C-alpha cells in the first residue's frame, strides 16, 4: 500500500484507530510486512480471536503506537482539507484525496491510492487506483494548480457563530419547502458560480450564474443544473 486515504467522520482519532487496525491485519496476514519493533509488540495479541481483538483496548492503543510512523507518512497528508473544512459526509473522502493532490502532487504519478470510507449504517467501501499523468491540461501538477487549495482556503470568509446559527435556521426553514425566493446578495459567491434564485409552487428550482447576463436558468431545461 502506498498512500491510505480515509473518510474523516468526526475526529481524526477515528481514522488513526482504523489505520492501526489495518496495520494489525497486515501483521496477521504476513508478519514480515510490518517493522521489526512493531512485530514484537503485536505478537502479544496474535492469539486473540477476531471478536476478542475488536474488543481489546490494549491492542487498540499498542497498534496505534506502532503504526504511528506509517500513519504520519501515508495518512497525515490527507487530513488537510477535512480538518480545515470540517465534516462534509460523502465529499470527505474526496476532500482527503484533494489534500494529497495538493500536498504531494510532485511524487504521485505511479503511486497507488487506497480510498476507504466508513459511514452511518455500518457500511464501508474500500477501493484503490493508480495515478497516471495525463496530457495537458490533465497533468497531475496542472490539476493541483487549478484546484488552488491554498488560495481557496485563504479566501474563506470569517463569520461570528450567531451568523452561522442564523444561516442554519434559514436552511432548516427552507429544507423541502416551495414557493420562496432567495436573497439577491451574491457578493460572497465566486464569479461563474451557479446559485438558487427561487423554488416555485411545483418545487421546481431555478438558478442563475454569477457574472452572467443571461436570465435565470430553469432546472427543467439544461443538463448542468437539472435536478439539483
Ligand X SMILES: *[C@@H]1O[C@H](CO)[C@@H](O)[C@H](O)[C@H]1NC(C)=O
Our CB check for ligand X shows the closer of 187 and 223 to be 223
**Which member of 49, 106, 221, 223 binds ligand X (CB under 6 A)?**
221
| Cβ 141 to ligand X shortest distance, Å | 31
Q: Which is nearer to ligand X, 132 or 226 (CB)?
A: 226
Identity of the residue, 40 or 166, whose beta carbon is nearer to ligand X in the bound complex: 40
136 neighbors 117 (Cβ within 8 angstroms): no
Can residue 223 be called a binding residue for ligand X (CB under 6 A)? no
Contact between 30 and ligand X per CB under 6 A: yes
Radius of gyration of the chain (CA): 23
Q: 176-203 in b/e burial notation, b at 16+ Cβ within 10 A?
A: eeeeeeeeeebeeeeeeeeebbebeeee
> Contact with ligand X (CB under 6 A): which of 33, 107, 132, 167?
33
32 binds ligand X per the rule CB under 6 A: yes
216 binds ligand X, rule: CB under 6 A: no
- The answer to whether residue 25 forms part of the interface with ligand X (CB under 6 A) is no
Closest CB to ligand X among 32 and 123? Answer: 32
Q: State yes or no: residue 218 binds ligand X (CB under 6 A).
A: yes
**H helix runs in the chain, sequence order:** 12-29, 36-43, 50-55, 57-74, 80-85, 90-104, 140-147, 149-154, 161-174
Q: Which stretch binds ligand X (CB under 6 A): 29-37, 66-74, 146-154, 157-165?
A: 29-37
Question: Sheet containing 124-130: which strands, arranged edge to edge?
Answer: 3-6, 112-118, 124-130
Rounded to a whole number of angstroms, the minimum distance from the CB of residue 27 to ligand X is 10
Residues 6+ apart with CB under 8 A from 54: none
Q: Name the phi and psi angles at 92, rounded to 5.
A: -55, -45
Shortest reach from residue 218's CB to ligand X, in Å: 5
Query: How many residues contact ligand X, by CB under 6 A?
Result: 5
Q: How far apart are CA 131 and CA 213, in angstroms?
A: 40
141 near ligand X (CB under 6 A): no
SS3 124: strand
Residues lying near ligand X in the complex (CB under 6 A): 30, 32-33, 218, 221
Amino acid at each position: 500500500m502506498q498512500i491510505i486515504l480515509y473518510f474523516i467522520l468526526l475526529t481524526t482519532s477515528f481514522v488513526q484507530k482504523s489505520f492501526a487496525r489495518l496495520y494489525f491485519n497486515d501483521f496477521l496476514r504476513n508478519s514480515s510486512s510490518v517493522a521489526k519493533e512493531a512485530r514484537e509488540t503485536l505478537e502479544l495479541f496474535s492469539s486473540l480471536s477476531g471478536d476478542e481483538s475488536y474488543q481489546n483496548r490494549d491492542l487498540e492503543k499498542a497498534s496505534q503506537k506502532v503504526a504511528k510512523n506509517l500513519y504520519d507518512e501515508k495518512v497525515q497528508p490527507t487530513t488537510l482539507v477535512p480538518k480545515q473544512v470540517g465534516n462534509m459526509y460523502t465529499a470527505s473522502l474526496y476532500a482527503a484525496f484533494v489534500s494529497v493532490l495538493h500536498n504531494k502532487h510532485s511524487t504521485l504519478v505511479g503511486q497507488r491510492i487506497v480510498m476507504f470510507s466508513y459511514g452511518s449504517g455500518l457500511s464501508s467501501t474500500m477501493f484503490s487506483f493508480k495515478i497516471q499523468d495525463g496530457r495537458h491540461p490533465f497533468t497531475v501538477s496542472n490539476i493541483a494548480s487549478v484546484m488552488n487549495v491554498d488560495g481557496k482556503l485563504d479566501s474563506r470568509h470569517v463569520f461570528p457563530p450567531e451568523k452561522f446559527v442564523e444561516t442554519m435556521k434559514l436552511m432548516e426553514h427552507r429544507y423541502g419547502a416551495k414557493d420562496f425566493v432567495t436573497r439577491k446578495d451574491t457578493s460572497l459567491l465566486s464569479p461563474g458560480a451557479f446559485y438558487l434564485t427561487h423554488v416555485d409552487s411545483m418545487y421546481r428550482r431555478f438558478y442563475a450564474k454569477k457574472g452572467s447576463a443571461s436570465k435565470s436558468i430553469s432546472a427543467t431545461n439544461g443538463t448542468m443544473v437539472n435536478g439539483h
